[in-house]
Amino acid sequence: MAITHDPADVTRTAHEVSPASEPSPGAPGSPTAGPGKAPGKLVAGLAFAQLGLMVSVLTPVMVTLALRVAQIVPEADRGAALGKVLSLGAVLALIGNPVFGALSDRTTSRFGRRRPWLVGGMAVGLAGLAIVATGGSVPVLMAGWAVAQLGCNAALASLTSCIPDLVPPRQQARVSGVVGMMTSIAMILGTYLANAFHQSLALAFLVPAVVGLASVLTLAAVMKDRPAKRGAFAPYSFREFLRSFWVSPREHPDFAWNFAGRFLVFVGISCVTSYQVYFLMDRLGFSQEEVSGKLFTGTVAMVVAVVCGSLLGGVLSDGSGRRKPYVLASSLVIGVGLALIATAHSFGMFVLALVVFGFGEGLYLSVDVALAAAVLPNPEESAKDMGVLNIGNALPQSLVPIMAPAILAIGGGGNYGALFLFGGVACALGAIAVQFIRSVK
Which pLDDT score, from 0 to 100, does residue 379 have?
A: 67
Q: What is the DSSP letter of 60?
A: I
Q: What is the DSSP letter of 21?
A: T
Q: What is the DSSP letter of 227?
A: P
DSSP states of 326-349: HHHHHHHHHHHHHHHHHT--SHHH
Residue 107 near residue 226, CB atoms below 8 Å? no
Mean pLDDT throughout 172-185?
A: 78
- Tell me which residue of 419, 396, 161 sits closest to 283, measured CA to CA: 419
Which pLDDT score, from 0 to 100, does residue 22 have?
A: 38
Which pLDDT score, from 0 to 100, does residue 186 have?
A: 87
In angstroms, the CA 336 to CA 421 distance is 9
Query: Domain coordinates of the chain in residue numbers?
Result: 38-225+239-434
Which pLDDT score, from 0 to 100, does residue 218 have?
A: 94
Which pLDDT score, from 0 to 100, does residue 81 have?
A: 85
Compute the radius of gyration of the chain from its Cα atoms: 21
Of the ranges 9-23, 49-63, 151-165, 392-406, which one carries the lowest mean pLDDT score? 9-23
In angstroms, the CA 47 to CA 41 distance is 10
Q: How far is CA 326 from the centre of its chain?
A: 19
- Tell me which residue of 300, 403, 312, 420 sits closest to 360, measured CA to CA: 312
- Tell me which residue of 96, 393, 91 sits closest to 265, measured CA to CA: 393
- Given a cut of 80, whether residue 376 has pLDDT beyond it is no
Which pLDDT band, with edges at 50, 70 and 90, does 16 fall under?
very low
| Each residue's pLDDT tens digit, 119-136 | 999 999 999 999 999 888
- Considering 60-74, 77-91, 133-147, the range whose residues carry the highest mean pLDDT is 133-147
- Given a cut of 90, whether residue 145 has pLDDT beyond it is yes
- Given a cut of 60, whether residue 216 has pLDDT beyond it is yes
Which pLDDT band, with edges at 50, 70 and 90, does 244 fall under?
low
- Tell me which residue of 45, 44, 308, 12 sits closest to 169, measured CA to CA: 12
- Given a cut of 80, whether residue 233 has pLDDT beyond it is no
DSSP states of 94-151: HHHHHHHHHHHHH---TT-SSHHHHHHHHHHHHHHHHHHHH--SHHHHHHHHHHHHHH
Residue 336 near residue 231, CB atoms below 8 Å? no
Of the ranges 107-116, 117-126, 172-181, which one carries the lowest mean pLDDT score? 172-181
Task: Tell me, yes or no, if the pTM score tops 0.85.
Answer: no
In angstroms, the CA 161 to CA 18 distance is 16
Mean pLDDT throughout 263-272?
A: 90
| Each residue's pLDDT tens digit, 294-333 | 888 888 898 889 888 888 877 777 777 777 888 888 888 9
In angstroms, the CA 166 to CA 22 distance is 13
- Given a cut of 80, whether residue 9 has pLDDT beyond it is no
Mean pLDDT of all residues in the chain? Answer: 81
- Tell me which residue of 426, 400, 408, 287 sits closest to 61, measured CA to CA: 400
- Given a cut of 90, whether residue 207 has pLDDT beyond it is yes
- Tell me which residue of 263, 283, 294 sits closest to 418, measured CA to CA: 283
Which pLDDT score, from 0 to 100, does residue 228 have?
A: 75
Which pLDDT score, from 0 to 100, does residue 251 have?
A: 81
Taking residue 343's Cβ as centre, other Cβ atoms within 10 Å add up to 11
Percent of the chain with pLDDT over 90: 24
Which pLDDT score, from 0 to 100, does residue 383 have?
A: 65
Taking residue 282's Cβ as centre, other Cβ atoms within 10 Å add up to 16
- Given a cut of 60, whether residue 6 has pLDDT beyond it is no
In angstroms, the CA 382 to CA 105 distance is 8
Cα angle value 346/361/410 (rounded, 5°): 50
Give me the sign of the Cα torsion angle 116, 122, 126, 128: positive
Length of the chain: 441
Which pLDDT score, from 0 to 100, does residue 48 have?
A: 94
Give me the sign of the Cα torsion angle 329, 45, 103, 152: positive
CATH 1.20.1250.20 fits 38-225+239-434, yes or no: yes
Which pLDDT band, with edges at 50, 70 and 90, does 55 fall under?
very high
Buried b (16+ CB within 10 A) or exposed e, 223-250: bbbbbbeeeebeeeeeebeebbbebeee
Rounding to the nearest 10 degrees, give the CA dihedral for residues 15, 119, 371, 182.
Answer: 140
8 or 78, higher pLDDT: 78
In angstroms, the CA 123 to CA 52 distance is 12
Alpha helices in 167-287 (DSSP H): 172-196, 201-222, 238-243, 253-282
Which pLDDT band, with edges at 50, 70 and 90, does 380 fall under?
low
Which pLDDT score, from 0 to 100, does residue 36 have?
A: 59
Q: What is the DSSP letter of 166?
A: H
In angstroms, the CA 60 to CA 129 distance is 9
Which pLDDT score, from 0 to 100, does residue 123 have?
A: 96
Report which residue type is found at 333. Answer: V
- Tell me which residue of 173, 120, 125, 123 sits closest to 147, measured CA to CA: 125
- Given a cut of 80, whether residue 292 has pLDDT beyond it is no
